[in-house]
Every structure is written in structure tokens, then in C-alpha cells.
Structure 1
Amino acid sequence: MHRRCPSVVALDAWYDRKATGPTVVNTPAELDAVLDTVVDWNAPITVQLLIHGDPGHAILDVGLDARTGRGVLCYAGSDAPDACISKGSDTAEQPPLYFTGSDTEFPVNSEIPLGEARRAAHEYMSTGGRRPTGVEWQPSWN
């Protein structure tokens, strides 16, 4: 019998404009499948992750762009009610655009390596929707 870690929560993943609702993600492998799908689209796309059954708890937007090997994060929850955005070590010449229902411009210093963005999504899932700690954060859209 397979036992899930008690802190892992199911997530609603919104990423497919053609879907009539979210993809419910119950395991880390299912989360990887969603992230892999978006990466395979080879465009700057955002996956919006919410706690299944408690969408007001916290939200993590995970932007992934396979073309550049970079991503962005935007988190809002009780410890960041005004939202916060990932802070990368590089500064882009132009604000990066990710599709989040519409094109969303992120700060020029918000992109992080793709692997870090993926790890943050897994940490969000494994901690019950807490803000990922393995990322440097900045206030949203200064």
C-alpha cells in the first residue's frame, strides 16, 4: 500500500486554456507531469497552483520557459498578502513576459533557473501551501 506524506497536499493546477477546469494534482509525479507539459510547449507559460479544496489559502504562480531555461514565481498567502515575486541573480534588458491568462510582465530581475522554479512548486506542495524557502523573494511589481 502506498502511503502519502501527510504534509503533501493536492493542488489545482490551472495552465491549459482549453480545459474547463483545473487539473487536480495529487502526487509529486503528477505535479512533474503538469510542469513537463508546460515546459514542452516551449513558451513562457505560467502554471497557477492552488490548494485543492481551499483555493483562498495561498497561490503560487510558476512561470516556465524552456527556451531560456528560466522561470519566475509569484506567491500570495497569509505571509505575503500583497504577493511577492522571485528575485534572480541576473537582470534582463526587458521585463520578461509570461502568459498567465494574458501576457504578464515581470520585473527585470525576477527570473530564476528552471530547476529552482520546479523545486519551489514541489516545496509548495510538500509544505501544504507555504511560501517556498529555497528562493529569494522581492515585493511584487515595485
Structure 2
Amino acid sequence: MLRGAEAVFKEEHLEEPFPLDSEDAVDLLIDALIDGHSSRNMAQVFSLDRTPLLSGDPDHEFLVGIDPDAQVGIVGFADSEGSYVPSGVPEKEELMYMLLTYPRNFLESPEIPIDLVRKVTKEFVLSGGLRPTCIAWQEEPY
């Protein structure tokens, strides 16, 4: 049985992460990012179903950010194989999203519609933390 994931997108989640164990929970996360402050428009998500590193730290990272004004967002996935963003042609040279007031820049990475952000995030959570297959990925440009 899958355990789901945990998200951090507000200061209180540093102590008690936001649980993601269903599609409804993912919708709550995305809706909170849409309705939230622009200094907190990204969440860091970790699957509870993947084996952590020997240090106890997660062996991966999933990022989800929302720009409610433009009705788009960004997703990112990283593990030992690399760091990935959606494939495609970016409209902007650089994107900046905020994770707990800390900027996270994405260079030459395309944003995707919010509905697709929801779908990708749900697949990550419900697949046991695998890189979603509902979109094409490219290595993140640095």
C-alpha cells in the first residue's frame, strides 16, 4: 500500500509537512499555492514510498510551483539520474518561483498549464514517487 508524500510550502510544514495521500490532497496543495502569497508559490514534495539515502535524507526532490496570474506553473524532478523539467520551448529565459521566501530559478524551462501541473503532481504522489510519465521531460538547463 502506498503511503503518499509530504509537502513543504509554509513555515509550519518544516515541523509538520503537509500530507499528500490522495488526489484530493494534491488538489488542496495546488489550490493553496494558487491562493497563497507570491513569496510562497512553490512546494517541495518528497515521496514516503521511496527508500531514503543512508543519511536518512530523501533520494529525490519534486518541485511544484504556480503562477496564478498567468494560469501556469512549473514542475521539477531530481534524483540520482539527474534534474528534470518539462520539455518544450520556454517563453521566458528565466523563471523564478519562491519556496518559503527563497527564490528558485529555472533557466530556459517551459511553464505548463495549471491543470497539467495537477495531473503531474498527482501521478508523482500516487506512483510511489516515480518521475511522472504524463509529460515529456528534459534535463534541467544550468
Q: What TM-score range do you get, normalising by the shorter chain?
A: 0.7 to 0.9
Match of 2:55 in 1: none
2:28 is the alignment partner of 1:33: yes
Is this contact kept in 1: 2:109–2:140, CA < 8 A?
no
Size of the alignment, in residue pairs? 133
Q: Work out whether 1:99 is the aligned partner of 2:94.
A: no
Q: Name the counterpart of 2:76.
A: 74
Contact 2:3–2:49 (CA under 8 A) maintained in structure 1: no
Question: Which is richer in helix?
Answer: 2
TM-score, structure 2 normalization: 0.80
Residue pair 2:109, 2:141 contacting (<8 A) in 1 also: no
**One-letter amino acid matched to 2:138:** Q
Gaps of 5+ in 2: 53-57
| TM-score, normalising length: structure 1 | 0.80
Contact 1:51 1:57 in 2 (8 A): no
Q: CA deviation at 1:41?
A: 1.6
Give how far 1:108 is off: 3.0
* Letter matched to residue 106 of structure 1: F
Indicate the SS of the match to 1:96: strand
For residue 4 of structure 2, the aligned residue among 10, 14, 20 is 10
Large movers: runs of 4+ above 3 Å = none
Distance 1:17 1:141, change over 3 A: farther
Task: Give CA-to-partner distance per residue, 1:90-127, whole Å, 9 cap, x none.
Answer: 422x4111012411111233211111111100011121
Name the SS for the 2:74 alignment partner: strand
Q: 1:26 to 1:86 in 2, by over 3 A?
A: same
Letter matched to residue 97 of structure 1: M
Change in CA separation of 1:117 and 1:88 when aligned onto 2, cut-off 3 Å: farther
Tell me the equivalent position of 1:3.
none
Tell me how large the CA RMSD over aligned residues is: 2.2
Question: Which 5+ residue runs of structure 1 have no aligned equivalent?
Answer: 1-5
Name the CA distance, whole Å, in 1 between partners of 2:109 and 2:60.
Answer: 23
Distance 1:57 1:9 in 2: 16
- What's 1:47 paired with? 43
- SS of the residue corresponding to residue 106 of structure 1 reads strand
